[in-house]
């Protein structure tokens, strides 16, 4: 952002004169002045370029010590925002902040704990998972340029999944302070620009006061629906230097106001409520609408008042899995029958209401007289490059640009007001759907028997063996159920917000293993049993997360869904190869994870994690899971490598 | 424009009629087992043909051979098309013979974990 750059340099120049004590500090402006007398005095500290004899200083100058520092102020700002954790792989450009977290944040209350990761992608993914459980951001930091580059895919996941993440990266604003060739390589004039397409907001503050204000603003924007990651590029000198004037002169910490997310206007709420109450076949579709446990209660309340069926996207805990009105297996038929479809925060409204026939013709899924309504905050913050908004949904009838969870209280109130005195028709509808739900559950049990005794182990067998050891605990499933053909959703009873958090958002591989650990970190203080089914391919993107789990003593049960492949891609390779009439016998090349088979239990042991496997006999699975859960309940991570069927 | 479902139904009826007139070649279930693996059927349908969210349930009780063969050659949805060039009629017959050998699974009541889950929650 060049327009900010000039001003920043001026402010930094002013800061420098005040911040750096001693002879070196005094000499720097003098030396600069000698090089460029045409500049006004307030600009004197600008870099004069590499002229021999020019004396350049920084906080790293030998012999300079001080008792207060910018990094400590930054820690206090983060603590004021309720940030509890700071995940990072170390990097020179944020070492001033790193040291402050370790020697100030971790030693004084309220504690800000450093979480050591082995890849910047893991730092972001941990923060991603944490936020979905805890409902607020944790911090993560990256080395300038290379660290941020590593982090970028995980940032895109968080952006697409609408999750708040508070991110920091180093920056070397003043050229003369870059002390080595490496620091030049690790500097970008506009570092955040690389990820700006998929962050909600970024800034490069020029002084400590600016950092405080921008940090609070970054937190606030991250937490304003639609949620998303925000990024601050923080000057290395600003982190490392003494606070200008000493500790007594530290800037105040800006106050965070109580925010109110945008809800639909009263007239729109009345109109939507009228349509829902008057509908003969209403259908509610829930996507990322329950941002909080209160949101989940409200989706249930709305459905129960109306006796309306609900279909859940699987991207969040949007509706209890065994609620009688949950009709996830009947989406197709319910859509074709619906006269009113209400979609709450749909990620892909186009596909909700539009079908593409084999001949390419687009057709409306809903019947001609039906009305479709979306309530979504996504359109309040659109961006154009990355296409995560999906295709334009021209067949939606009413698109309400508002946060669904913030709108639900008003909608529920209005629906209640409009409900007729006699509820018999609504109750009858609810009873009919309850019977269908039970029928679907029984069907799931009957279908679960296929392949029950097979090796590799079938998905329903895995799901039921896991549930047997988890169900009496306060469990939390931290991986998307889709990759196991949604057997957990079909067979388990989940009705709490923390019991399921969906998936990556952008389908970037390597999300599940670290994100689930971040979620487990959040679950730890609540005493919950954290469980994640991670793909073998996913785990191998960043197996170092196992070391983080052991090192940080984060209790989690990892189940490796070991189908020995990037399985989705194998299936696609088969389709392409057959289309070209070449056969599928070589489709595994580049997709299979075999020859040698990876011993994940051994990998985990090497990282200090309790592990068992490979478990190939389904009859051995239950006992292995029980032993692992016992370890997790003691506060340690555990891993079971289960050799499974594909899906 | 004929709806896709209707055109498929007609095609299956025609295929069934043709199959009824021409019995499929005799299949070899042992060879079919190998084909099921080497041709990657298990990736989506599971080793026991039990199905997943990527492929439908094939066994036990597979669909009629005509419908099976039609789906192999001109599949609906995302399934790879197995043309004659890569899967002969004999291969198809062998595959089908294998599917016919997959036994009926145990009843829910005979599997304690599932039987327990079938009981209403208190």
Structure tokens at A328: 């996830």
pLDDT in the model for residue A358: 74
Provide the pLDDT confidence category of residue B77 given band limits of 50, 70 and 90: confident
> Cα(A533)–Cα(A244) distance, rounded to whole angstroms?
50
Q: Which CATH number fits domain A449-643: 3.40.50.1370, 3.40.50.1100, 3.40.50.970, 3.40.50.620?
A: 3.40.50.970
- Whether B87 maps to a domain, the answer reads yes
Instruction: Assess if residue B96 is contained within a domain.
Output: yes
- pLDDT given for residue A53 in this prediction: 60
Q: pLDDT for A256-305, tens place per residue? A: 999 899 999 999 999 999 999 999 999 999 999 999 999 999 999 999 99
What per-residue confidence (pLDDT) applies to A403?
98
- Please give the mean pLDDT across all residues of chain A: 91
Q: The domain containing residue B37 runs over which residues?
A: 26-118
ipTM: 0.85
Give percent of chain A with pLDDT exceeding 70. 90
Provide the pLDDT confidence category of residue A40 given band limits of 50, 70 and 90. Answer: very low
What's the pLDDT tens digit per position in A400-419?
Answer: 999 999 999 999 999 999 99
Put simply, whether B47 touches A (Cβ < 8 Å) is yes
- pLDDT tens-digit readout, A418-446: 999 988 999 999 999 999 999 999 999 99
Domains of chain B: total: 1
Per CATH, the number for A266-439 is 3.40.50.1220
Q: Is residue B3 part of a domain?
A: no
pLDDT at A65: 86
Query: Do A611 and A547 contact (CB within 8 A), yes or no?
Result: no
CA A334 to chain CA mean position, Å: 31
Check pLDDT > 80 for residue A22: no
Say whether A353 sits in a helix, a strand or coil: helix
- In a 13 Å sphere around the CA of A519, the CA atoms on its Cβ side amount to 33
Nearest to A567 by CA among A500, A482, A502: A482
Residue B78 pLDDT level (bands cut at 50, 70, 90): confident
Look at chain B and count its residues: 122
Residues of A in contact with B86 (CB under 8 A): 578, 581-584
Could you give the percent of chain A with pLDDT greater than 90?
A: 84
Q: How do residues A115-140 score in pLDDT, each as one tens digit?
A: 999 999 999 999 999 999 999 999 99
Is 3.40.50.970 the CATH number for A70-243?
yes
| pLDDT tens per residue, range A188-212 | 999 999 999 999 999 999 999 999 9
Under an 8 A CB cutoff, do A468 and B83 touch?
Answer: no
Q: What is the pLDDT of residues B34-60, one digit of tens each?
A: 999 999 999 999 999 999 999 999 999
Nearest CA in chain B to A492: B117
Cβ-nearest to A468 among B85, B113, B118 = B113
Dmax over CA atoms of chain A, in Å, equals 91
Residue B5: which pLDDT band, with cuts at 50, 70 and 90?
Answer: very low
- Outline where DSSP puts E strands in A332-396: 340-344, 354-356, 362-364, 371-376
Quick check: is B39 in a domain? yes
Task: With beta carbons less than 8 A apart as the criterion, state whether A343 and A349 touch.
Answer: yes
Q: What whole-number distance in Å separates Cα of residue B42 and Cα of residue A105?
A: 53
Q: Residue A304: what are its φ and ψ, rounded to 5°?
A: -70, -35
CA B81, B83, B88 angle in degrees (round to 5)? 130
Q: For A66-106, how does the pLDDT look when each residue is reduced to its tens digit (9 = 90+)?
A: 889 999 999 999 999 999 999 999 999 999 999 999 999 99
Best to test chain A binding among B114, B115, B118, B120 (most A CBs inside 10 Å): B114
Strands (E), A238-345: 282-286, 310-312, 340-344
**Are the beta carbons of A450 and B108 separated by less than 8 Å?**
no
Specify if B4 maps to a domain. Answer: no
A639 and A546 Cβ atoms separated by less than 8 Å: yes
CATH number at residue B94: 1.10.760.10
For residue A61, what pLDDT band results from cuts at 50, 70 and 90?
low
Is residue B106 predicted with pLDDT exceeding 80? yes
Task: Please state, in angstroms and rounded to a whole number, the distance separating the CA atoms of residues B50 and A74.
Answer: 56
User: For residue A20, what pLDDT is reported?
Assistant: 38
Of A39-43, A168-172, A391-395, A441-445, the least confident = A39-43
Instruction: Nearest chain A residue to B83 by CA: give it.
Output: A581
Tell me whether A64 touches chain B (CB under 8 Å). Answer: no
pLDDT classification of A58: cutoffs 50, 70, 90: low
Could you state, in order of their start, the residue ranges of all structural domains in chain A? 2-43, 70-243, 266-439, 449-643
The answer to whether residue A489 scores a pLDDT higher than 60 is: yes
CA atoms of A499 and A530, how far apart (whole Å): 9
B56 touches chain A (CB under 8 A): no
pLDDT tens per residue across span A491-534: 999 999 999 999 999 999 999 999 999 999 999 999 999 999 99
Let me know if residue B18 belongs to a domain: no
B63 CA: distance to closest CA in chain A (Å): 16
Q: Quick check: is B17 in a domain? A: no
Q: What are phi and psi of A138, to 5 degrees?
A: -110, 170
Q: What is the pLDDT of residues A166-187, one digit of tens each?
A: 999 999 998 888 888 999 999 9
Q: Which has more pLDDT, A393 or A544?
A: A544
Buried b (16+ CB within 10 A) or exposed e, A14-48: bbbeebbbeebbeebbebbeeeeeeeeeebbbbbb
């Amino acid at each position: 952002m060049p327009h900010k750059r000039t001003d920043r340099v001026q402010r930094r120049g002013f800061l420098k004169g005040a911040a750096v004590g001693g002879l070196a500090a005094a000499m720097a402006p003098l030396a600069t002045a000698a090089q460029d007398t045409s500049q006004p005095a307030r600009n004197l500290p600008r870099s004069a370029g590499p002229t021999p004899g020019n004396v350049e200083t920084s906080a790293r100058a030998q012999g300079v010590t001080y008792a207060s520092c910018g990094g400590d102020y930054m820690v206090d700002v983060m603590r004021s925002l309720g940030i509890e954790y700071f995940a990072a792989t170390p990097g020179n450009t944020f070492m001033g902040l790193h040291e402050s977290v370790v020697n100030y944040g971790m030693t004084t209350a309220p504690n800000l704990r450093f979480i050591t990761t082995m890849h910047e992608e893991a730092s972001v993914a941990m923060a991603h998972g944490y936020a979905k459980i805890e409902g607020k951001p944790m911090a993560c930091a990256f080395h300038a340029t290379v660290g941020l580059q590593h982090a970028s895919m995980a940032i895109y996941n968080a952006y697409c999944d609408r999750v708040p993440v508070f991110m920091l990266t180093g920056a070397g604003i003043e050229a003369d302070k870059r002390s080595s060739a490496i620091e030049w390589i690790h500097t970008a004039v506009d570092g955040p620009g690389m990820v700006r397409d998929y962050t909600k907001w970024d800034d490069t503050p020029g002084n400590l006061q600016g950092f405080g204000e921008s940090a609070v603003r970054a937190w606030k924007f991250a937490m304003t629906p639609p949620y998303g990651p925000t990024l601050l590029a923080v000057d290395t000198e600003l982190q490392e230097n003494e606070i200008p004037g000493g500790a007594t002169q530290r800037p105040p910490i800006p106050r965070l106001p109580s925010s109110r997310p945008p809800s639909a206007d009263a007239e729109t709420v009345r109109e939507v409520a009228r349509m829902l109450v008057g509908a003969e076949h209403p259908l509610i579709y829930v996507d990322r609408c329950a941002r909080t446990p209160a949101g989940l209660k409200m989706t249930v309340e709305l459905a129960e008042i109306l006796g309306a069926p609900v279909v859940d996207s699987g991207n969040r805990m949007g509706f209890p899995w065994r609620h009688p009105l949950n009709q996830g297996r009947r989406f197709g038929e319910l859509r074709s029958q619906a006269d009113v479809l209400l979609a709450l925060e749909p990620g892909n409204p186009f596909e909700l209401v539009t079908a593409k026939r084999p001949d390419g013709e687009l057709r409306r899924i809903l019947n001609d007289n039906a009305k479709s309504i979306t309530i979504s905050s996504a359109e309040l913050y659109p961006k154009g490059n990355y296409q995560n908004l999906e295709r334009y949904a021209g067949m939606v009838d009413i698109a309400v640009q508002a946060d669904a969870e913030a709108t639900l209280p008003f909608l529920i109130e209005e629906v209640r007001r409009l409900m007729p005195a006699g509820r018999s028709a609504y109750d009858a509808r609810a009873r009919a759907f309850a019977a269908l739900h039970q029928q679907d559950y029984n069907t799931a049990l009957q279908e679960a028997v296929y392949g029950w005794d097979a090796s590799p182990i079938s998905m329903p067998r895995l799901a039921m063996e896991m549930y047997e050891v988890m169900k009496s605990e306060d469990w939390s499933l931290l991986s998307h159920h889709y990759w196991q053909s949604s057997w957990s959703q079909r067979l388990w009873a989940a009705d709490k917000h923390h019991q399921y958090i969906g998936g990556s958002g952008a389908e970037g591989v390597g999300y599940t293993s670290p994100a689930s650990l971040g979620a487990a970190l959040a679950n730890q203080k609540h005493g919950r049993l954290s469980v994640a089914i991670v793909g073998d391919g996913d785990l191998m993107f960043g197996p170092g997360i196992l070391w983080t789990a052991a090192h940080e003593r984060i209790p989690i049960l990892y189940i490796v869904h070991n189908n020995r492949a990037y399985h989705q891609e194998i299936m696609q390779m088969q389709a392409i190869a057959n289309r070209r009439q070449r056969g599928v016998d070589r489709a595994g090349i580049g997709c299979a994870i075999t020859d040698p088979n990876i011993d994940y239990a051994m990998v985990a042991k090497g990282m200090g994690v309790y592990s068992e496997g490979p478990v190939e006999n389904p009859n051995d699975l239950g006992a292995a899971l029980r032993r692992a859960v016992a370890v997790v309940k003691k506060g340690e991570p555990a891993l079971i490598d289960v050799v499974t069927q594909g899906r | 424009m004929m709806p896709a479902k209707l055109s498929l139904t007609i095609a299956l009826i025609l295929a069934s009629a043709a199959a009824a007139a021409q019995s499929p070649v005799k299949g070899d279930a042992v060879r079919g087992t190998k084909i099921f693996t080497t041709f990657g059927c298990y990736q989506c349908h599971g080793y026991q043909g039990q199905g997943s969210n990527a492929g439908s349930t094939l066994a036990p009780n597979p669909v009629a051979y005509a419908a099976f063969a039609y789906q192999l050659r001109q599949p609906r949805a995302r399934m790879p098309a197995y043309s004659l060039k890569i899967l002969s009629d004999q291969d198809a017959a062998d595959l089908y013979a294998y599917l016919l050998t997959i036994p009926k699974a145990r009843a829910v009541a005979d599997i304690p974990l599932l039987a327990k889950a079938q009981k209403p929650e208190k």
